[in-house]
């Protein structure tokens, strides 16, 4: 970009810093300045016009350098843009598009886009009809998602949300889709761990990580999800299916609240500004399933929100619930019981995911939810110390097996066709299970076979095309023992 003198000669307008309030700077002058325009200080730093008032403008700055009152400011006639392109894949960048890792120079993409664009209209959108595979058993089987869905990931700190997100990104990247991860105000150590995890698993070249640190300027942190969404839109326009993770918007709301209070905005509930819902809703609406010049493409947005003491009725949490297509609730009580992931299927919602399922997947999902509901009711008999008959004992034993079946280790992703066949084998009692640890062993063996043996993979994929759950049980009672025997002989050790 040009320097202060060049912009001053070009626009012939000058303003002066009147007051500095951390990330908000009040500037007088500049009569023709527009909202969202970039301005440049004589020190060479840039700012973003946050609001325009009759006597002054509010400028949001992206640096921590101290600006003195009286400093000259001029317009640029440009809006804030960030670089977008394939050159960003495999890199960790800040919200301004600069590489965080200074040892690896970033080849700047030739194209730049404005970060604050309007969502696409209904004419350019398609219904969500394709299932989004996370590789997480309980989600894909019981609470399915669709490509282009906006799903809230909500729960207390340290309940496994990040582990779920990394599994999902890993699965999607291995399938060839583009993944964009926005780390909003995170510690540098946390961002580094995420980068190293994906590099170790060989999928970093399918990812862009947009990161802002907790010590960065408020303006930079505020910008993070917008930059990530803009990069996602570029790949969407290239005809790609994109997974966007915003981690997390509850932190983003707090930083936006700080900006608004510095800007003397009238505080509302919990001191949040009155436009906090609009701010997040406009961002979320940019995700979806779209018609592009290069075919149908989607942006699936997984938005993270952090609760306190498991309270789902918080202001930001309920806001985000109302603007997304469902939510996955990570229950701390289930986490303490050893469930991994600790997703509560009864308090989780998917509003469009079920319409993407085949008849078989819908049957399996319905059977699982119905049985888990029965299992929860049966457990109440145990709490009351009631005498259990054989039916209740069998139900509790099956329920215990299914709960252990849904447990997954970090980094373990399971293809959906294999999920269906493995669950049906468990349901039909085809696996020899002496104790619950055998379930993980059987699943690990068949997952290894599916990954490395083409013949077994083709057989399982064909079985997963069966019309209904009942028919699949019948087919597996005939063919299942042969598959289990082949897997056990080759991968049993």
Tell me the C-alpha distance between 176 and 397, whole Å. 39
Residue 125 phi/psi, 5-degree rounding, is: -115, 155
Quote the CA–CA distance of 428 and 481 in Å, as a whole number.
Answer: 11
Please identify which of the residues 72, 351, 354, 362 carries the catalytic annotation: 351
Strand partners, 343: 330
* Catalytic residue list contains 150: no
Residue 77: strand pairing partners: none
Structure token pair of residue 382: 């145990």
Burial, 409: exposed, middle or buried (Cβ in 10 Å; 0-12, 13-18, 19+)?
exposed
Q: How many CB atoms lie within 10 A of CB 467?
A: 11
DSSP 186: E
Q: What b/e sequence results for 254-267 when a residue is b if at least 16 CB atoms lie within 10 Å of its CB, and e otherwise? A: bbbbbbbbbbebee
Expressed in angstroms, the distance from the first to the final Cα of the chain is 62
3-state secondary structure of 205: helix
Q: Which long-range contacts (CB under 8 A, 24 or more apart) does 400-405 make?
A: 400/436, 401/426, 401/433, 401/436, 401/439, 402/368, 402/371, 402/372, 402/375, 402/426, 403/339, 404/436, 404/439, 404/440, 405/137, 405/439, 405/443
In sequence order, the 6+-apart residues with CB closer than 8 A to the CB of 31 are 13
Cα distance between residue 45 and residue 71, in whole Å: 11
Nearest to 249 by CA among 140, 171, 323: 323
Comparing CA positions, the residue from 161, 143, 118 lying closest to residue 332 is 161
- Tell me how crowded residue 123 is: count the other CB atoms within 10 A of its CB: 6
Stretch (H or E) spanning 375: helix 359-383
Q: Which residues are catalytically annotated?
A: 351
């Amino acid at each position: 970009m040009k320097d202060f003198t060049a912009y001053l000669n070009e626009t012939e307008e000058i303003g002066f810093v009147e007051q500095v309030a951390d990330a908000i700077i009040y500037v007088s002058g500049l009569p023709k300045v527009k909202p969202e325009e970039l301005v440049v200080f004589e020190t060479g730093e840039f700012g973003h016009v946050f609001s325009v008032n009759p006597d002054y403008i509010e400028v949001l700055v992206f640096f921590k350098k101290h600006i003195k009152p009286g400093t000259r400011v001029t317009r640029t006639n440009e809006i804030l843009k960030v670089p977008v392109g394939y050159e960003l894949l495999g890199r960790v960048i800040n919200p301004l598009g600069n590489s965080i890792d200074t040892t690896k120079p970033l080849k700047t993409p030739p194209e730049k886009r404005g970060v604050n664009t309007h969502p696409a209209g209904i004419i350019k959108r398609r219904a969500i009809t394709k299932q989004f595979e996370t590789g997480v058993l309980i989600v894909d089987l019981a609470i399915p998602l669709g490509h282009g869905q906006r799903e809230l990931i909500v729960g207390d700190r340290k309940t496994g949300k990040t582990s779920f997100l990394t599994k999902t990104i890993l699965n999607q990247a291995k399938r060839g889709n583009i993944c964009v991860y926005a780390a909003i105000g995170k510690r540098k150590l946390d961002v580094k761990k995420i980068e190293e995890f994906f590099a170790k698993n060989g999928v970093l070249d399918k990812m862009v990580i947009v990161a802002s640190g907790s010590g960065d300027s408020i303006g930079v942190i505020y910008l993070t999800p917008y930059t990530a969404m803009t990069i996602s839109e570029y790949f969407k326009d290239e005809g790609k299916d994109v997974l966007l993770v915003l981690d997390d918007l509850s932190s983003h709301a707090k930083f936006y609240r700080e900006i608004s209070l510095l800007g003397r905005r009238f505080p509302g509930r919990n001191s949040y500004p009155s436009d906090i819902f609009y701010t997040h809703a406009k961002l979320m609406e940019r995700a979806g399933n779209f018609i592009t010049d290069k075919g149908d493409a989607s942006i699936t947005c997984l938005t993270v929100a952090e609760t306190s003491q498991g309270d789902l009725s918080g202001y930001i949490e309920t806001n985000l619930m109302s603007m997304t297509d469902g939510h996955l609730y990570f229950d701390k009580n289930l986490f303490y019981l050893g469930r991994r992931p600790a997703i509560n299927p009864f308090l989780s919602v998917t509003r469009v995911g079920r319409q993407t399922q085949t008849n078989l997947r819908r049957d399996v999902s319905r059977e699982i939810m119905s049985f888990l509901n029965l299992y929860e009711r049966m457990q109440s008999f145990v709490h009351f110390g009631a005498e259990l008959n054989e039916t209740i004992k069998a139900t509790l034993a099956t329920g215990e097996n299914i709960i252990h079946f849904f447990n997954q280790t970090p980094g373990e992703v399971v293809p959906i066709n294999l999920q269906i066949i493995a669950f049906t084998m468990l349901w039909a009692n085809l696996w020899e299970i002496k104790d619950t640890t055998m379930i993980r062993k059987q699943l690990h063996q068949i997952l290894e076979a599916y990954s490395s043996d083409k013949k077994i993979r083709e057989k399982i994929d064909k079985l997963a095309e069966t019309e209904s759950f009942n028919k699949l049980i019948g087919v597996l009672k005939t063919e299942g023992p042969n598959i289990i025997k082949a897997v056990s002989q080759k991968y049993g050790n």
